[in-house]
Amino acid sequence: MSEFASSICRSKFQTRPYGMFRKFCKYHIIMPGRFDEPPSSTHAYCTASGYLMPLRIRIISVVMLLLFLGNNTSAQPQENISKREKQRKVVSLDELERNLENPVRLKDMQPDRVIDVFGVKNGEIVADIGAGTGFFTFRLANKVGPAGRVFAVEIEDQLLDFIRRKMDKNKVTNIIPIKSSDPAPNLPPAICDKIFVAGSYYYFPDSVLFMSNARKALKPGGLVAVVDLENAKYKVKPKKFALTDQIGTAAGVIDEMKKAGFTLRESHDFLKFRFFLVFSASEEASQTAPLK
């Protein structure tokens, strides 16, 4: 090959790497027999039928292609990860439970008092939406007793499995784990005396849609409690124990719940950093089907 032809080929490969890669993919991978490489050649050169790259460039190109395809493939499962799972801190479930059950949080949340004020009774059927590791779930199960039931509604499979193991360990039989989805809690219709949403409201991608669909799980006269961080009370974003950096206001939640077909019945302010709101389904909403 002449020095002139050799310089042309080297120039093409040095100044047009993208074109080189495309030509390699088009011809040398899909049609690998198109080119013949002389055993002594170490430079790209021209023939009547096209370019030929050195072995090291071909290896690098194949690696680049595999990495590109691998990145696209690995990104696919991320689409199935819920908003809650993306926002939740990456900690072990045992560590998460220790954080949730620590004495400081217990004093702040006052779970037994909250359950009593909500009026949960023996024999009732209650849904704990966003059950997590069961912070409220097992307390609710103890309150409703063997004659009652608690639906542990959770979108994360790992947390549902954690609750099941905890049920087996403590021989609890009146909890029913339910896999929820982004738009709905997936509860049976007209089954719950009460629905409890504590520390999970801000995780709903569309709160109005989700709570509209939750409404159909209520029996006539059923109640919904929403307990979560209040921006006006919690001036500094929580870092250690909160699982989301999105903090709203009681007024905002009341407005969204109204759009979802609920009417505010009670508001309690004994929690230091949280609002505690109790709703019932509005009469107008009771006559209409929930959103899809």
Residues 190-228 have pLDDT tens digits of 999 999 999 999 989 999 999 999 999 999 999 999 999
Q: What's the pTM value of the predicted model, to 2 decimals?
A: 0.67
Average pLDDT of the segment spanning 147-157: 96
Contact 261, 284 (CB under 8 A): yes
Distance of CA 187 to the CA centre of its chain: 19
CB atoms within 10 A of CB 35: 16
Contact 199, 131 (CB under 8 A): no
Contact 150, 141 (CB under 8 A): yes
Question: What residue segments make up the domains of the chain, in order of their start?
Answer: 3-79, 83-286
pLDDT exceeds 60 at position 47: no
* pLDDT > 90 in the chain, percent: 51
At residue 45, the pLDDT reads 40
Q: Which tops the pLDDT comparison, 236 or 193?
A: 193
At residue 35, the pLDDT reads 40
In the chain, DSSP assigns E strands to 45-47, 50-52, 125-129, 149-154, 175-179, 192-198, 218-229, 262-268, 274-281
Average pLDDT of the segment spanning 56-72: 61
Q: Which tops the pLDDT comparison, 107 or 38?
A: 107
Contacts of 125 (CB under 8 A, 6+ apart): 144, 148, 149, 150, 151, 191, 192, 193, 194
Average pLDDT of the segment spanning 125-154: 97
Looking at residue 199, what DSSP letter applies?
Answer: S
> Which band of pLDDT confidence, cut at 50, 70 and 90, is reported for residue 123?
very high
At residue 252, the pLDDT reads 94
Digit-coded pLDDT (tens) for 263-284:
999 999 999 999 999 999 997 6
At residue 5, the pLDDT reads 44
83-286 fold: Rossmann fold (3.40.50)
Looking at residue 123, what DSSP letter applies?
Answer: T
d(CA 284, CA 282) in angstroms, rounded, equals 5
Average pLDDT of the segment spanning 147-169: 95
At residue 102, the pLDDT reads 81
Contact 155, 181 (CB under 8 A): yes
pLDDT exceeds 70 at position 156: yes
Q: Provide the 3-class DSSP secondary structure of residue 127.
A: strand
pLDDT exceeds 50 at position 241: no
Looking at residue 201, what DSSP letter applies?
Answer: G
User: Hey, what's the torsion of the CAs at 83, 80, 92, 207, to 10 degrees?
Assistant: 20
Tell me the two tokens of residue 272: 């230091």
* Strand bridging mode 218-229 / 149-154: unpaired
Q: Which tops the pLDDT comparison, 236 or 139?
A: 139
Q: Which spans in 24-134 are helix H?
A: 55-75, 83-87, 93-100, 103-109, 111-118
pLDDT exceeds 80 at position 71: no
> Which band of pLDDT confidence, cut at 50, 70 and 90, is reported for residue 63?
low
Digit-coded pLDDT (tens) for 26-42:
444 444 444 444 444 44
d(CA 187, CA 58) in angstroms, rounded, equals 56
Beta bridge partners of 218: 192
Average pLDDT of the segment spanning 19-25: 46
Q: Count the helix, strand and coil residues of the chain and give each as a percent rounded to the nearest 5.
A: 45, 20, 35
Q: Which of 10-14, 105-109, 251-255 has the highest mean pLDDT?
A: 251-255
* Edge-to-edge strand list for the sheet holding 262-268: 175-179, 149-154, 125-129, 192-198, 218-229, 274-281, 262-268
